[in-house]
Amino acid sequence: MNPTNSGYILIIDDNKDICDLLAHLLEHAGYKTQQGYDGNTAINLLLQCEPDLLLLDSVIPEPNGMAVLAKAHSLYPQLPVIIITGTAGILSAVCAIKAGAWDYLPKPFDNNRVLELVNRAVQTRGTKNDINSLLNRDISSRISELMGKSSETQQIIKDIVRVAHTDFSVIIQGETGTGKEMIARNIHLSSKRAMASFIPIDCGAMSDSLIENELFGHEKGSFTGADQCSIGKFEAANGGTLFLDEIANMSLSSQSKLLRVLQEHVIYRIGGVKAIHVNVRILVASNEYLLDEVVKGRFREDLYYRLNEYVIQIKPLRERSEDILFLANRFMKEVCTELSKELLTFPNEVKKILLRHPWTGNVRELRAVIRRVALISDEEVTVEDLSFLFAPYNAKPTNIALNPIVSAKIMPKPKENHTVRSCLKCIAQDDYSGLSLTEINRINSVKTDQFIIQSVLKETGNNKAEAARRLKIDYKSLCSKLKNIITPEGE
């Protein structure tokens, strides 16, 4: 018989004769094989290399066959596993199939049956790899169309592709408005739970009693007004994904109850005594670094490490310059379609302003700006159409989030009596040839911070304490920022 197959098959059975018999049969058919006789050897071999198929005896020395099956699937979710079993072990083989085994092979073997099963399993493995490759490309295309094509976005795509097919808990961190929920939804849509529910909940918008009711539900009569039974978000998301947004705002008491559910996979409705088993994947988001919150005593350390199986960090829009115009064009197409208008274009002067704006509200702010200019603009967006972006130049600042100010020796000193229009023209027409987009953004952030600080100081008669209050920053931070405002020599 000429070898017609290729692939690496791992054979695990505590009976060496059976291993030798299967190896001889499969190698004669063209496969490469390796043998092991206990659970520890099996796991060590799996850690060294991913096989194309695992033939696994259901009864082997510790760890047992079910433990090896679970480990194999945690390492390689798409790996087909065929359970080898004697007649007395059919029940355990059925249990293994329910746990994810591909099929089972009863003893004594029929050689033709062995080859038929192995060939189909390996062929399925190849098909799944092709499908996974297509799925990964689909994920990349979908998220690129939503977020852009910057290197930072491509890293996020890699993170999603890497973690989506698992049941890992994921922490998504990033400033407000960067698209954390969108990332969570794409993880869900790219996972094996995609056909089940995706349930989001804002942890920062509810009190302790309300969030407990939202998460776990309540029984009829459990409190005044509970005139009927109500299920919570955990039950609603059973089999799917629960997204806990702004989890850092959850109280320590609520965190404790959440931790217990994650450990035991069991909930109790308010007023109930019946344990309800739940199978839910947890994704969480925060605009704070959760580890910092742990250090400050505002977030439970044990809950943090329970959730911290994978972390996706989203950079702010001002650090993803390549995505700004991409997103601006995407939002413009959407709103022009909504308004039944011809597609509006961005002239170069407007593009420069968009690229240099600090975008403290991130993607959410950019979307709101584009929707507004689409409503007021005709044919193309003009510099004047963006005048509302610079309202702080003419209006008393009340709640301005300043960007970190960097050394600015090359920055011109802000001129007296800048009008909105002249300021926009200045930003649009400055010559920044030779600078990267990141440097351009940094320069613009410095200009904005300098002008705002100096304007507020002028209004307050150089009263730094009052200026800090109006700018919503502490006095020490204001003084630190003032030290970094350096005017060029000769000014």
Assess whether pLDDT exceeds 60 at residue 278. yes
**What is the pLDDT confidence band of residue 312, given thresholds at 50, 70 and 90?**
very high
pLDDT higher than 60, residue 429:
no
Domains of the chain with CATH codes:
8-130 (3.40.50.2300), 148-315 (3.40.50.300), 318-484 (1.10.8.60)
Mean local confidence (pLDDT), 465-487 = 69
- CA dist list (Å): 417 to 288, 296, 447, 462: 38, 44, 15, 17
**Range with lowest mean pLDDT among 83-97, 108-122, 123-137, 157-171:** 123-137
Side chain identity at residue 356, one-letter code: R
Report the distance separating Cα 201 and Cα 212, nearest Å. Answer: 12
Region of residue 12 (phi > 0: left; psi between -120 and 50: alpha; otherwise: beta): beta
The pLDDT score that the predictor gives to residue 89 is 54
- DSSP helix/strand/coil, 242: strand
Per residue in 400-421, is it b (16+ CB within 10 Å) or e — as a string?
Answer: bebbebeebeebeebeeebebe
**pLDDT in the model for residue 432:** 46
Q: 133 burial class (0-12, 13-18, 19+ CB within 10 angstroms)?
A: exposed
Does residue 267 register a pLDDT over 70?
yes
Span 244-259, average pLDDT:
91
Which secondary structure element, helix H or strand E, spans residue 259, and what is its range? helix 252-264
Burial of residue 286 (number of CB atoms within 10 Å: 0-12, 13-18, 19+): buried
Position with higher pLDDT, 172 vs 48: 172
Residue 349 near residue 387, CB atoms below 8 Å: no
| Residues facing residue 199 across a β-bridge | 242
Residue 44: predicted pLDDT: 82
What digits encode the pLDDT tens for the residues 347-375?
999 999 999 898 988 999 999 999 999 99
Q: Structure tokens of 450?
A: 């300098």
State the residue for tokens 């399925």. Answer: 124
Residue 168: the pLDDT is: 93
C-alpha to C-alpha distance for 358 and 445, rounded to whole angstroms: 6
Q: What are phi and psi of 48, to 5 degrees?
A: -75, -35
Distance of alpha carbon 319 from alpha carbon 477, whole angstroms: 22
Exposed / middle / buried, residue 118 (Cβ in 10 Å: 0-12, 13-18, 19+): buried
Instruction: Tell which residue, 490, 457, 455, has the closest CA to residue 475.
Output: 457
Question: Does the pLDDT at position 318 exceed 70?
Answer: yes
CA distance 491 to 284: 50
- Rounded to whole angstroms, the Cα distance separating 369 from 422 reads 20
Asked whether residue 491 carries a pLDDT value surpassing 80, the answer given is no
